[in-house]
Amino acid sequence: MASYFGTDTGYSSIANNYLYLEVTDSDKIYNYDITTQQLRQNGISENLYENGSVLADLTMRNNNCLNNLEQAYTQTPESSKVTTIYDLLSLYPELSECKKLVDSCNFERELSQKGGPHKYCTFFAFTNENAGLASIWLKRFNTLGYQRELLKAHTCNFVAEPILFKGKKTKIFTRSEGNELYVDGQAIPMYFYSDAKELNGVTYSPPMLKINIHSFLTCDNGALYIIDRPFYPRIIL
């Protein structure tokens, strides 16, 4: 049989057959900036993937979420004096208790990297208002190793800009092995949450503990979130 590329003759051998491509989470719906993963995460069944009203409604929610993120969490103005996360932490009086903990266990080096493979990171700093919650936890496990592990659980190895979480729920792996932070980017405003952590038979936080975001700041070596309270890691040393 003669075969001609791009013609009916060329494809006659597979005529009358239905061919299916495997859909992946990153595939987008035609004419929409929406992935199949977002549809599944929003509980939309496959039979509605071509429903214009459903897609338009999800698009509007995504845009509202993006606009909210852009308005609520703005980047830090450029400054020759502010170069690292540790510099930012030192600028805000309401973070002084968090900074004391950072200083007490030499964690400032983790937040002041200006080169190398661990230069970029994000740190989640809790305000003085609820710093006592960290102190209560550390009274039971107040060693240098536990102090550092608590701070590692507030640090991730990439610049976690809010735009990355737009319109979806995401798990963030922290520098504390086995401890993750979750973010609800579908909510307005966006917030973090963590599951209950148990150590030596003691549960330290209720399931789905909500952690509110006060500010998001950027600098040369990453980003800093100011959050309303600490979260407790599961630690076995």
- In tens, the pLDDT along 59-105 reads 666 555 555 555 555 454 444 455 899 999 999 999 999 999 999 99
Number of neighbouring beta carbons within 10 Å of residue 4:
10
Task: Give the residue range(s) of CATH 2.30.180.10 domains in the chain.
Answer: 85-227
- Beta-sheet strands, E only, within the chain: 121-126, 155-156, 169-173, 180-184, 191-194, 198-199, 202-203, 209-211, 213-219, 222-227
- In tens, the pLDDT along 162-216 reads 999 988 999 999 999 888 899 999 888 899 987 665 655 666 555 568 899 999 9
Does the pLDDT value for residue 153 go beyond 80? yes
At 220, the amino acid letter reads: D
pLDDT reported for residue 140: 78
Say which CATH topology domain 85-227 has: FAS1 domain (2.30.180)
Token look-up 């600490």 returns 230
Residue, of 224 and 16, whose pLDDT is higher:
224
Does the pLDDT value for residue 145 go beyond 80? yes
Asked whether the CA dihedral 31, 32, 38, 42 is positive or negative, the reply is negative
The whole-angstrom distance between residue 200's C-alpha and the CA centroid of its chain comes to: 28
Total-model pTM = 0.65
